[in-house]
């Protein structure tokens, strides 16, 4: 492959050259970074990365290949991928194919040979921004690509949940289960569904546009609002549904985007973070127990703490890096939420008690 046959152009006019990886294509999206050292397959198949060009800060991606068990959904959702180096000779006993083959098979447009440290520093200093990733490209296209990147729609311009939610309900029947939870699928990771069913709870996953009345037809003992992509305020129909469900006094549990939706349904506000939290090393403090956890996260929006208190919500956990809200609990309803991912795929495995808390609420 020839040098500099792929290019990433940012909205501020920055041009980053590299070598093409995966399929040919021209992709746009919000350029973000993930600081995890492992878990690239889980990230690529996480619906929360819809309309994002994902930069991996770890310099070597693909050293253990890809397998058949680390999928978090049926599809790859990233718009594009930026890496320093992809491993051509991976090694792992459960490996099925290299990331290069994985990229080609799933039609992922990528670029390697990039100084991902410099790109990450730029995004930390100036905030995430839109970009255009093109492979292959021609030098004569650069001005046009700069203009396209500058004009590209922002992530808040789309209702991304509708692009990733399931089309029909999916039922997980668990032998011996005595309780049933309905999960509003905003772009859920399979690790979340697995953690629920492992706790002997029947699970019914429903499309994000299901009304409260349709959800109540399942006679659920509890409601889960899942993770998902984009700006929570664009999912106003889910906010309305959750507000109606809470009137029924049913226990409600929110994760990531679901955490933000629960806050909005209660009257709190959300805001966009400068560069988000994406990685498996985010420190969180539980304000009730005093314990600290290293958490796995993937989000670009957060709940405003002051507005949460005014909405009769108690802030139960905070991020120790920036003080942002990581956990909420209603003061008068059976409702709580966490901003991080307690299913911890790819890790660290410290947060199963969050699912136990939901089970106890049922």
Q: Does the annotation place 266 within a ligand binding site?
A: no
Active-site residue (options: 256, 259, 277, 345): 256
Consult the annotation and say whether 26 binds a ligand: no
Residues 6+ apart with CB under 8 A from 351: 293, 295, 340, 342, 344
Q: Catalytic site residue 23?
A: no
Q: 3-state SS string over the chain?
A: CCCCCEEEEECCCCEEEEEEEECCEEEEEEEEEECCCCCHHHHHCCHHHCCEEEEECCCEECCCCECCCCCCCCCCCCCEEECCEECCCCCCCCCCECHHHHHHHCCCEEEECCCHHHHHHHHHHHCCEEEEEEECCCHHHHHHHHHHHHHCCCHHHCCCHHHHCCCCCEEECCCCCCEEEEEEECCCCHHHHHHHHCCCEEEEEEECCCCHHHHHCCCCCEEEECCCCCCHHHCHHHHHHHHHHHCCCCCEEEECHHHHHHHHHCCCCEEEEEEEEEEEEEEEEECCCCCEEEEEEEEEEEECHHHHHHCCEEEEEEECCCCCEEEEEECCCCEEEECCCCCCCCCCCCCCHHHHHHHHHC
Q: Is 260 annotated as a binding residue?
A: yes
48 is in an annotated binding site: yes
Give yes or no: 186 in active site.
no
**Annotated binding residue at 228?**
yes
- Which residues make Cβ contacts (< 8 Å) with residue 1, sequence separation at least 6? 19, 20
Catalytic residue among 77, 277, 341, 345: 341
The residue written with tokens 């203009």 in the block is 147
**Which residues on neighbouring strands pair with residue 349, listed in sequence order?**
none
Yes or no: say if 182 and 213 are a contact pair by the CB < 8 Å rule. no
Out of 77, 259, 343, 345, pick the active-site residue.
343
Whether residue 343 lies in the annotated active site = yes
Nearest-5° angle of CA 178, CA 180, CA 184?
165
Residue list for the binding site: 48, 228, 230, 257, 260, 298, 300-301
Residue list for the binding site for L-glutamine: 48, 228, 230, 257, 260, 298, 300-301
- Active-site residues: which are they? 256, 341, 343
């Amino acid at each position: 492959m020839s040098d500099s046959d792929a290019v990433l152009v940012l909205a501020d006019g920055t041009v980053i050259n590299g070598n093409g990886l995966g399929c040919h294509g021209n992709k746009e999206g919000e350029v973000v970074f993930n600081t995890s050292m492992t878990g690239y397959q889980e990230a690529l198949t996480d619906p929360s990365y819809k309309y994002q060009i994902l930069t991996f800060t770890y310099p070597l991606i693909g050293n253990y290949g890809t397998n058949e068990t680390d999928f978090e959904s049926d599809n790859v959702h990233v718009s594009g991928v930026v890496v320093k180096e992809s491993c051509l000779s991976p090694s792992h006993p459960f490996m099925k194919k290299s990331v290069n083959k994985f990229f080609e098979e799933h039609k992922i447009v990528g670029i390697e040979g990039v100084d991902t440290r410099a790109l990450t520093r730029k995004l930390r200093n100036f905030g995430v921004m839109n970009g255009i990733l093109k492979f292959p490209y021609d030098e004569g296209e650069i001005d046009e690509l700069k203009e396209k990147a500058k004009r590209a729609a922002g992530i808040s311009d789309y209702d991304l949940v509708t692009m990733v939610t399931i089309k029909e309900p999916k039922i997980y029947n668990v032998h011996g289960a005595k309780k049933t939870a309905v999960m509003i699928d905003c772009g859920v990771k399979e690790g979340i569904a697995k953690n629920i069913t492992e706790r002997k709870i029947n699970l019914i996953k429903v499309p994000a546009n299901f009304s409260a009345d349709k959800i109540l037809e399942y006679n659920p003992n509890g409601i889960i609002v899942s993770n998902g992509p984009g700006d929570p305020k664009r999912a106003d129909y889910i906010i309305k549904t959750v507000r109606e469900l809470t009137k029924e006094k049913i226990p409600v549990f929110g994760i990531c985007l679901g955490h933000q939706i629960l806050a909005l349904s209660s009257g709190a506000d959300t805001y966009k973070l400068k560069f988000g939290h994406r990685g498996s090393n985010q420190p969180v403090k539980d304000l009730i127990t005093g314990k600290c956890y290293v958490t796995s996260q993937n989000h670009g929006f957060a709940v405003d703490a002051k507005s949460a208190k005014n909405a009769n919500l108690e802030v139960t956990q905070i991020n120790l890096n920036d003080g942002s809200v990581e956990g909420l609990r209603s003061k008068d309803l059976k409702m709580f939420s966490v901003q991080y991912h307690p299913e911890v795929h790819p890790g660290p495995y410290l947060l199963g008690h969050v699912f136990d808390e939901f089970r106890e609420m049922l």
